[in-house]
Amino acid sequence: MKTFAELGFPGRLIAVEGLDGSGKSTQIYLLKRWLELQGLKVYFSEWNSSELVKSATSKGKKRELLTPTTFSLIHATDFADRYERHLVPLLRAGYIVLCDRYIFTAFGRDVTRGCPPEWVRGIYSFAALPDLTFFFKADLEVSLQRILEGRPQLKYFEAGMDLRLSTDPYESFRMFQGRILEQYLAMTLEFNFLVIDANQLVERQQEIVRQLVAQKVDLKAFRRAERPPGRPAPVRPPKPAKLEVVE
């Protein structure tokens, strides 16, 4: 598998991965705002957001109907739709594309739910690798606390309740997310993840992320043109000369 840069794309794709509650979504939002304020061409995409299958996924989750295989296939469909209609065209157009989760989410979650690793990877074999992948590594208790600070209880699939690991959703979360963490750690070297200590303050994490992006991506190459390329600057008519009155 090659990165978009290795495939000759003018754009660059930056992805963030991490457990639920790791703070990765906050970090990529802050990165997006930082890049936009520099006048760069930026596009953002997140996991499970395709209009094609989003409603079907939502209904399946609410009714708790999704088997591990169905879960895997419906997310792969979501990703394939966004990849073909949004990610690739914008990378060809020279954008910095930011992804809140990429194929590694499926590699971690689906395998943890019991899908064969080779099968899961085969589904996503059409996708190129990100040019940069940040993995926000947070302690399980830190992730859990962050989630509960925002809402009163865990979601059914977020806690891995479909796997019947425990009748206690909090214990199920620890077990389920702990297994996903093991998958992420196994992928770290294979896919050259840039590991960020997600237990740190938000500001410190963002400082590190910006430094790494600035080091590894030629940001000047992604500045928006002040006017459409190939179109000459507008010609302004000369100001009329002042007439001097001779007395």
pLDDT tens, 192-203?
A: 999 999 999 999
pLDDT of 125 > 50? The answer is yes
Residue 232 within a domain: no
pTM, entire model: 0.86
Task: Please report the pLDDT score of residue 62 as a whole number.
Answer: 67
Strand 96-100 to strand 132-137: parallel, antiparallel, or no bridges (unpaired)?
unpaired
pLDDT of 235 > 70? The answer is no
Q: Domain of 207?
A: 14-222
Distance CA 74, CA 54 (A): 9
Residue 233 within a domain: no
Categorize the per-residue pLDDT at 93 as very low, low, confident or very high, splitting at 50, 70 and 90.
Answer: very high
Distance CA 236, CA 154 (A): 62
Is the separation of the CB atoms in 143 and 177 below 8 Å?
yes
87: domain CATH number is 3.40.50.300
Task: Please report the pLDDT score of residue 234 as a whole number.
Answer: 53
**Which 3 state secondary structure label does DSSP give 164?**
coil
Residue 130 within a domain: yes
Q: Sort residue 53 into left (φ over 0), alpha (ψ -120 to 50) or beta.
A: alpha
Residues 6+ apart with CB under 8 A from 195: 135, 137, 188
Which residues are registered as beta bridge partners of 45? Answer: 99
Task: Please report the pLDDT score of residue 245 as a whole number.
Answer: 41
Q: Which of 11, 120, 21 is nearest to 68 (CA)?
A: 120
Q: What is the pLDDT of residues 132-169, one digit of tens each?
A: 999 999 999 999 999 998 888 898 888 999 899 999 99
Distance CA 163, CA 157 (A): 9
* 84-113 mean pLDDT: 97
The count of structural domains within the chain is: 1
Task: Please report the pLDDT score of residue 64 as a whole number.
Answer: 64
Q: Sort residue 137 into left (φ over 0), alpha (ψ -120 to 50) or beta.
A: beta
Residue 230 within a domain: no
Cα distances (Å, whole numbers) of residue 116 to 68, 148, 164, 187 = 11, 32, 19, 16
Categorize the per-residue pLDDT at 78 as very low, low, confident or very high, splitting at 50, 70 and 90.
Answer: very high
State both tokens at 24.
């990765």
Q: Which of 96, 81, 90 is nearest to 126 (CA)?
A: 81
Q: What is the mean pLDDT of the chain?
A: 89
Categorize the per-residue pLDDT at 236 as very low, low, confident or very high, splitting at 50, 70 and 90.
Answer: low
Task: Please report the pLDDT score of residue 157 as a whole number.
Answer: 87
Residues 6+ apart with CB under 8 A from 83: 126, 127
Task: Please report the pLDDT score of residue 51 as a whole number.
Answer: 80
Residue 4 within a domain: no
| H or E, element range at 109 | helix 103-112
Task: Please report the pLDDT score of residue 243 as a whole number.
Answer: 41
> When comparing pLDDT for 71 and 124, which is higher?
124
Residue 9 within a domain: no
Categorize the per-residue pLDDT at 63 as very low, low, confident or very high, splitting at 50, 70 and 90.
Answer: low
Residue 3 within a domain: no
**Which 3 state secondary structure label does DSSP give 247?**
coil
pLDDT of 217 > 60? The answer is yes
Is the separation of the CB atoms in 174 and 144 below 8 Å?
yes
Residue 7 within a domain: no
- Burial group, residue 108, by CB count within 10 angstroms (0-12, 13-18, 19+): buried
- Burial group, residue 75, by CB count within 10 angstroms (0-12, 13-18, 19+): buried
State both tokens at 18.
């991490």
Categorize the per-residue pLDDT at 53 as very low, low, confident or very high, splitting at 50, 70 and 90.
Answer: confident
